[in-house]
A and B are shown apart, each in its own frame.
Chain A
Amino acid sequence: MKVRIALTVNDEVHEALVPVHKTLLEVLREDLALTGTKHGCELGECGTCTVLVDGQPVLSCLALPLETEGRRITTIEGLADGARLHPLQQAFAELGAAQCGYCTPGILLTAAALLSERPSPTRQEVKEALAGNLCRCTGYTKILDAVELAALRMERART
């Protein structure tokens, strides 16, 4: 059974006719051509497909589009302000926090949600926030460093 849905993604409204059981991950990638969100396990285990729904990290492989109608979805394509990168993106690029880059979109969005709630997290708080996002390349070290650097820069920009 197909349903017509309207999703607000990165501040744009997208309409699509999709099978009712198709996941948000599949609809974003296949119907909305937002391929920055990645498949990792399709079982909610690895964090790779994380997007933000009303600012909160959500595993898009476990979410149904119908549940997210009328809510604000942010994908990696919407993290930058136009051509201006989010401080997290800047820090991840500068510090080598993305190696293969496959887990990077999910980690960036999870970290963005953390920094909006806790602008100056401790390293342990960063670790806890990212504990649901697996990365097999980096050993997490440069990721944690980059989140800390971004938090510092964002704090400086505020004061």
Chain B
Amino acid sequence: MTKNDFAVVGQPLPKVDAWAKVVGETRYADDLFLPRMAYAKLLRSSHAHARIRSIDTARARALPGVYAVVTAADLPPVKFGILPVSQDEEALCADKVRMVGDPLAAVAAVDEETADLACRLIDVTYEPLPALMSIFDALAHPEVRIHEYGDGPNVHKNVALQFGDVDAALVGADLVREDVFFFEGNTHLPMEQHAAVAHWTSDGKLTLWSSTQTPHYVHRVLAKVLATPAAHIRVIATPVGGGFGGKTDPFSHEIVACQLSKLTGRPVKIALTREEVFYTHRGRHPVLMWIKTGFTKRGDITGCHLRTWLDGGAYGSYGVASTFYTGVINPVTYKIPVYKFEGARIFTNKPACGPKRGHGTPQPRFALECQLDKAAEQLGLDPADLRRRIVVEPYTKTANHLTVTTIGLGECIDKVVEASGWRAKRTRYGVTAAMGSQPTGGSREGGAGCTHLVQPEPPSPKKPGIGIACSAYMTGAGTAIYWNDMPHSGVIVRADRSGGVAILCGATDIGQGSDSVLAYLTAEVLGLEPVDVQVFPADTSLTPVDLGSYSSRVTLMCGMAAIQAAGRLRDAIFKAVARKLEVDPAALVARERKIGVPDDWDKAVSFARAVELGEAMHGVLAFPGSYAPPKRAGKYKGGGVGPSPCYSYSACVVELTVDEETGTVDLRDVWIAHDIGRTLNPLLAEGQVEGSIYMGIGEALMEEQVFRKGLHKQPSMLEYKSPTTLETPEIHTILVETDDPEGPFGAKEVGQGPLLPVIPAIANAIHHALGIRIDEVPITPDKILKALELRRRGKPPRVGPERLPLFTFKDPLVVESAFGQPADAIGVRPFQS
């Protein structure tokens, strides 16, 4: 279809919830106040690792205004976790705490202040254990076990996959680079602190309102840990005030609020403080990376070997998936004929890491894209040209058996190169031009690089630079978190004689606009305006299951389900209108709130009349739509992580200046071209891109989740630096449309992918400006000054990790490379008929 075939799709329409949000009407979880409601607080551990000798709640219980106090003894002894393979969390810790902030007890009281005071009256006796605060610590002390399960002492997961003979491919290369990188962890920092309200009513039914991205998974966990039938539990996801992956796990506070409601017979609200949100975390894993890649003189990749070590924190969370994601997505962008990936996730006594925007892929993307920049420099190639030549072919498979459908990456590179004035600026700016193409350091290189710097004009300490990087991301995970053959997404579309259309869908709007996308697509199919469609989302008792707002899956999966459901409704109505007009249903179209034959539009009936005819013919008009992704998991263990119906692509150019005297980086402009498949709404799509760029800038230059003696060093929004209006540059977004056959009207994801290339593009631009390599993020001024100082002392001007852990990966699972093989059948998936 072309753009002109659409009435709603492609229009810059306001979001359906925009009006409520600008007047303050939107009711987030913390805005719910129910009659007789009690307020809960958690007592959290002050130790990073300790046995619990005793918990005495007597003084808390005696405090006036306290309704109930619970500890682990008041809950079924059932552990939980988001992944079936990592059921390692407790709503309240029974025997041991594994991080500062682990929950120990909870109080429900007349108000928050009383609950807080009561928590301080709970006496806990700890027996401290050694706290393991880094990957190196955790591996060096196998005698201290954080958990009793996993792939070794303090090793949560150890994976090794090999696709083809990488060693042979590297031997045949003209250039082999080995580099080491470190990506410090950071956190989501949503503006809304997590909140929940539980009401266990006297009929034995439980309702939980929560700011969650995954009401379905919370539903399952509540049933398990509260030993209550899922059929008696209703989870409603309230509008989420920022998620970014931070609200995709089921959490202790949700479970505890339910139990306290059961005990008190009152609704119970719990709202986390900002400090608690920092400890609740589940954000970006710190990842140490070693990457060895072979290149031909022309810049073709002969093979790639990647090792990653993830600092997982105290619990499993999504960690097994995160571990795979640090390895499996890199081959989707460039031609990598053979590939080997080894990854390990290590437990430490810090808040658990999990999925943050880009889930596990920004870290290896940083490594690969910075290494490509170094290789281009050594080979004397332009970094944009090098990338452009090696873009993956459409409708082929990668070495690790992922199916690429459409790929607009080449066009994305061309567009950002053009828009940014790349070629002129690349020559005009930077020391690299002044120095020729001398390599400037790298982990395994000797040589000082350049010792003599030609000062470019003008002689200001602020040196300009321009850098490029690319990326890819999934449009929805191809497999569910728990293995099953049911739909990943479901929609019910109903219409009645009022002419109104309602959509029921389990999707959760976290600000990305999923309610709006559902309304747009349904309106498009039925020839209505979005305002005619009411969306009822995320209520496990009313809406068909959707797995949640994660992995950039909602627009595609809910969108496809909505198109199917709305199409079925349209077919039923068309049959009734066709009988009335005495025409063939195939001759009818729905547009402008009418249904009729285009050549005889005067006879077209209004949509409301058409629904009346439909109701008279068929009875109640309510139709389901179901979506499950194509079954494309690679036929090897671990092949279930990485497949997606289609991948989005981005290319990004960053222009900046770096101050040689202060080490500060000023971003001037960011150009990004994103292959979105089809733009369903340019305003929302640009908003996702701009937000991703912004978040990437924060990760690249300032944000870090770091600890001292078990405590978060900066658990507040003032100390945890994130970009304000003043640090955010002008962002130039270009949307590239490839019309993917797997997506709703051709659409792919846009919410996560554009974050990925920003970070390496900034690192590469800093190198272009000053000739230094900062091989770890965040790239803070002290690291830039340190690299400049190294150069002054005649050493390679590189700052980054200097050592790797002593660690034995398991023997790799050796699988034949599927690189370049044609894609399997496209558009074939369950529930199509």
Contact = CB atoms under 8 A, between A and B. Distances in A.
B241 A139 contact: no
Interface stretch (B26-34, B301-309, B496-504): B26-34
Nearest to A83: B23
Given A93-B14, A98-B22, A101-B241, A41 B691 contact: no
B242 A102 contact: yes
A100 B690 contact: no
A33 interface: yes
Contacts of B23: 36, 76-77, 79-80, 85, 89
Interface in B15-44: 15, 17-28, 30-31, 33
B724 interface: yes
B27 A42 contact: no
Contacts of B572: none
Nearest to B32: A35
A91 to B, nearest CB: 9
Contact of B21 (A35, A104, A127): A104
Contacts of B769: none
B686 interface: yes
B189 interface: yes
A92 B18 contact: yes
B510 A46 contact: no
B724 A134 contact: yes
Contact of A137 (B193, B511, B717): B511
A131 interface: yes
A101 B511 contact: yes
Contacts of B686: 96, 141-142
Interface string A139-152: 11111100000000
Interface in B261-290: 271, 273-274
A108 B241 CA distance: 16
Contacts of A41: 274, 716-717
A43 B25 CA distance: 24
Contacts of B366: none
Contacts of B109: none
Contacts of A104: 21-22
B73 interface: no
B28 A144 contact: no
Contact of A35 (B24, B511, B717): B24
B822 interface: no
Contacts of A133: 725
B731 to A, nearest CB: 5
Given A41-B274, A94-B14, A139-B693, A100 B239 contact: yes
B722 interface: yes
Interface string A13-48: 000000100000000011001111111111101101
A75 interface: yes
A147 to B, nearest CB: 10
Given A100-B510, A131-B726, A93 B18 contact: yes
Given A92-B22, A99-B511, A101-B26, A127 B718 contact: no
A96 B690 CA distance: 11
A37 B12 CA distance: 28
B190 A136 contact: yes
Contacts of A35: 24, 27, 31, 33
> B-side binding surface: helix, strand, loop or mixed?
loop
B691 A45 contact: no
A103 interface: yes
A37 B244 contact: no
A140 B240 contact: no
B644 interface: no
Interface string B183-197: 000001111110000
Contact size class for A? 35 or more
Given A76-B23, A77-B24, A144 B725 contact: yes
B511 A100 contact: yes
Nearest to B19: A93
A40 B694 contact: no
Given A36-B24, A40-B191, A131 B725 contact: yes
B569 interface: no
B687 interface: yes
Interface residues of B, number: 58
B735 interface: no
B690 A127 contact: no
Contact of B191 (A88, A132, A135, A140): A135
Given A39-B271, A101-B239, A45 B717 contact: yes
A128 to B, nearest CB: 7
Given A40-B191, A101-B241, A138 B24 contact: no
- Among A128, A141, A142, the most chain B Cβ lie within 10 Å of the Cβ of A141
A38 B28 contact: yes
A137 to B, nearest CB: 5
B94 interface: no
A134 B703 CA distance: 14
A127 B723 CA distance: 12
B513 interface: yes
Contact of B717 (A88, A98, A134): A134
Nearest to B725: A127
Contact of A42 (B190, B274, B695, B724): B274
Contacts of B24: 34-37, 75-77, 105
B683 interface: yes
A136 B18 contact: no
Contact of A43 (B21, B113, B716, B726): B716
B722 A136 contact: yes
28 contacts: A35-B33, A37-B24, A38-B241, A39-B30, A39-B193, A40-B191, A41-B274, A41-B716, A45-B716, A46-B191, A77-B23, A85-B19, A92-B21, A92-B22, A93-B15, A93-B21, A99-B511, A99-B512, A100-B190, A100-B242, A102-B191, A104-B22, A127-B725, A136-B190, A136-B242, A137-B242, A139-B693, A142-B690
Interface of B: 12, 14-15, 17-28, 30-31, 33, 113, 188-193, 239-244, 271, 273-274, 510-513, 683-684, 686-687, 690-695, 716-718, 722, 724-726, 728, 730-731
Given A41-B716, A100-B192, 11 more contacts: A30-B33, A35-B33, A38-B28, A38-B241, A89-B23, A96-B14, A131-B724, A136-B190, A139-B728, A141-B731, A142-B683
